[in-house]
Amino acid sequence: MAARKTEDRPQATVRTQEYAAGSGWEVGQTAPDDAFRALDDQAAPYGPVVRTHPGGHARLIVAKGATVTESAARELAAAETVED
């Protein structure tokens, strides 16, 4: 009987650790709360960013737990933020 040969197998690839970006309002982070902005009669945003629906017509900029995108961060930066 012939001796078994061990095949050269590539070593297992180790995946680098992926860390969450944390909670906050910067791009790539998880939104800690909802962010709304009121809309006027022509659907143009006005007023400050608020954490609860302001009533009437409003735009949800980013939902709680969602990843903050570049466009959401731009809209948040363009408006004043008021804490409720």
Q: What is the pLDDT of residue 37?
A: 94
pLDDT in tens, 24-51: 999 999 999 999 999 999 999 999 999 9
What's the chain's Rg over C-alpha atoms? 24
What residue ranges do the domains of the chain occupy? 29-81
* CA dist list (Å): 69 to 29, 41, 62: 8, 26, 8
Name residue 55's amino acid: G
- Enumerate the β-bridge partners of residue 58: 38
pLDDT in tens, 2-27: 666 666 766 666 666 667 778 999 99
81 backbone dihedrals φ, ψ, rounded to 5°: -110, 130
Average pLDDT over residues 48-58: 94
